[in-house]
Amino acid sequence: MPYYYELYKNLSQKSESCKSYLRNKKASNFIIILKNLSSKLISHLTNVIKIHPNSCQLAVVSKIQEFISDFSKPRLLTLKKNLKNGLYIHGSVGVGKSVIIKALKKIYPQSEILHFNDLIFKLQSRSEKNLSYLKNIKRKKLILIDEFFINNLTSFILFRKFLEEIKFNNTKIIMNGNKSLETVYNDLVNPKLCEKIKNELKAFFLIFKVKSRNDYRAGKAIDHDFFLIKKKNKIVKQNYIVSELSSEGTSKQIEFNRKGNSFKLTKVYGNLIDLEFDDFFEKNLEFQDYNLIAKKIKIFVLRNIKQIDESKKNILARFISFIDVLYENKNILSISSNVGLDELYIGNTNSSEFKRTISRLKEMGTNKYINKNLTTNK
């Protein structure tokens, strides 16, 4: 057992100099673990994830290494140089931001990784479980946040408060998103407060833009047996998927419960659920609800996706969250629509976020994705 653990065990009985030694010792241990981070990240991406990082992705890895190296500097020096507590990586969809963040988690498992929507849900919830979770992650040396996305002022305010507490604990954050901090959100009701929060985020984060516009998920062939876009035989094809891939021949109704919400879903065939777009997305569900469903059910058949315009902001937000959850959980999805994928959303407000949704859908519709994840049981 490390020497500094014994110090920690009896911390209340130790002098201030002893406490200082403990903090420095723990920091040194953290630095040793992340030594040669860039080479470890590149090795993981190449040998485990099986992708060959391009120049833009290598630049992201280099920036992360540069940011992490600041941990090795004495506390007084970091204060003098006004070094940032966070690194924000932003750029177009499908350029590898999330892949690199997740690879970093594998290299340093003591860090904490979570989706931004999940963080906001936990900040809003007052349950004992979530409060305990937030208390614990604030003690981490490194927090990784995937898919930073703001769609209301309340989330902005909650996140700002979270960062204030993180900064007090000298915890570092690496976060990714599609938009710059300048354009991430504009509030018409309270623009001054919105601008103030943006400035505070700019002061907290070192900002790095991924300049690549190449979506590595784009250009992959869609498997039309699962993705039935503008197909006359969509009903027959999706009925066949239900009959062939479901683990139970008779549908059931299942009730899902979490603190703060309870809902029922019908047409559940064991490992598969058969959904109608209008019915499903009219339900007042959110990220945590979709996550609950995705962890229980492997295969999703979603019928008759409609075109979404600016008047259907709630449906749009739910659909984006739904696809994010299925993609992160590696679920199988079959969709049908009379509208092309690139025409599903007609609007400008959330066009950046929806590009990510379409990018992920295109990957989920490939034979490679389906064959790889279809055999993975829940």
What are 346-360's pLDDT values in tens digits?
987 778 788 889 999
| pLDDT attached to residue 208 | 95
**First-last CA distance in the chain:** 37
Decide if pLDDT at 266 tops 80.
yes
Q: CA–CA distance from 183 to each of 149, 150, 178 (Å)? A: 11, 10, 10
Q: How far apart are CA 354 and CA 256, in angstroms?
A: 27
Of 47-61, 208-222, 278-292, the one with minimum mean pLDDT is: 208-222
Identity of residue 298: K
Q: CB–CB of 95/215 below 8 Å?
A: yes
Q: Among 238, 257, 240, which Cα is nearest to 296's?
A: 257
Considering only CA atoms, give the Rg of the chain.
Answer: 23
Instruction: For helices 313-329 and 287-296, give the axis angle rounded to 10 degrees.
Output: 40
pLDDT digits 0-9 by tens, 236-248? 999 999 999 999 9
Best CA proximity match to 334, nearest among 253, 242, 252, 217: 242
How many Å apart are CA 56 and CA 132, to the nearest integer?
38
> Which residues sit opposite 89 in a β-bridge?
176, 208
Amino acid at site 269: Y
Given a contact cutoff of 8 angstroms between Cβ atoms, the answer to whether 212 and 54 are in contact is yes
3-state secondary structure of 265: strand
Token output for 338: 């009379």
Predicted TM-score (pTM) of the model is: 0.71
What is the model's pLDDT at position 36? 79
What structural domains does the chain harbor?
1-33 (no CATH), 36-210 (3.40.50.300), 227-374 (3.40.50)
Q: Mean pLDDT throughout 369-378?
A: 78
**What pLDDT, in 10s, does the model give residues 52-102?**
888 999 999 999 998 988 765 555 555 545 678 999 999 988 888 999 999
Q: Which 3 state secondary structure label does DSSP give 82?
A: coil
